[in-house]
Structure 1
């Protein structure tokens, strides 16, 4: 569990294995189309205090995310170094030279000189080790602050670690009360790999859940806030996606209350191993 003293506000961050500090809570932009919607969401998030922005090549919105970042920095006077920007290499670009080229493309679209975190998006069999070598090169050259993976099960991590010189610092996975991944979380904790949750709200499917609704009512909070607070208290970073200013603000307002042990017991009992996204052991893209 994360100690409550570590969770002061939206700028609260934790150290990765290499000492780089990563914010606990960030903005995700999955399925937000290129254009003003994505740029404005990023700009509003930074204005509200967010410091972590997560995108990916396959989201096809890196240009707009970059626009939002630049406009936010100009309006707030913040330095680029105050933000933690993540992107991911897509499956079609997994390979040593291909991944190096994909990184340059992402930087160009974002209009940035470096990324804070670069991830392998999916564990494509026979390809992710070569891609990881490329990430290690980028990291060794100081062109990215931290490297990691996404959607890797324990066996994928074990396979990668056999060949890796640098261990992944982050594993970004689907994680929510219906898919709590205790084995993966325990494995990652032992090896200094931080878990980050995508789809923490199960793409909205949990917002009417009676258990969570009752917990939210007791705390005078929304179900979304309860779930995000649960992530943080588990020691899991999280990147809820929203483009509406009031939702972006609501999602950030989770640093002034705490869940009880009974709340945690009730949420733990909700785990069903249910996914809204693909199974990393069974995908064909």
Structure 2
């Protein structure tokens, strides 16, 4: 009697290692998140990266400005899984994502919510949305809606949403987004306090948002929101001061030598 086994492909083997690292860090505790991570070929969403880099722990930069500033990237897999745990998507949920990125996160969410639900992803950059649209189409997630628009506006035409997630870093929660979240719905959003970002999981309770989870993270700042300022305060530019736009701070005196 002949028996044979099929060895996993290099991508599948690397995906298994990625998931093991995520779970060792305490994330993908939600089985639906784990199954989505196993099902979605991350490397197909970052075609310019090597397969090894696609499944590595770090981010994969997909677009930079002329000065080198990162404009779009595929978030580190650990952060992706952490935020999906916070979002707690249920089958049949309607989900809105602000920050289309590569389309990978939208595909994960579409896998979790299933055919009875729907995912919409919004981004202000038409080049980013075109890339996300192409990747979603080629991987079988044509049903995801991709919209080019200022993410602060959300998607009022198809609201309310059971789940809303930001994969870019805003200075504050846009008012339009709160109005598009269904009662009892969840919002996961990375907010910055004094130069450090935290992913906050909120639940809508009437007119209030109540935080349930807070995790450290880091994200590309949201285009169009200039709420946080930073400036060097020493001649060698080794020390920076970070403050919000509603704080009347002038860093100039701190730059003066004694």
- Largest Rg, 1 or 2: 2
TM-score relative to the length of structure 1 = 0.30
TM-score for the superposition, normalised by structure 2 = 0.32
* Structure with the largest fraction of helix: 1
**Per chain length, whose mean CA-contact separation is higher, i.e. which structure has more relative contact order (CA < 8 Å, sep 6+)?**
1
Considering fraction of residues, name the structure with more strand.
2
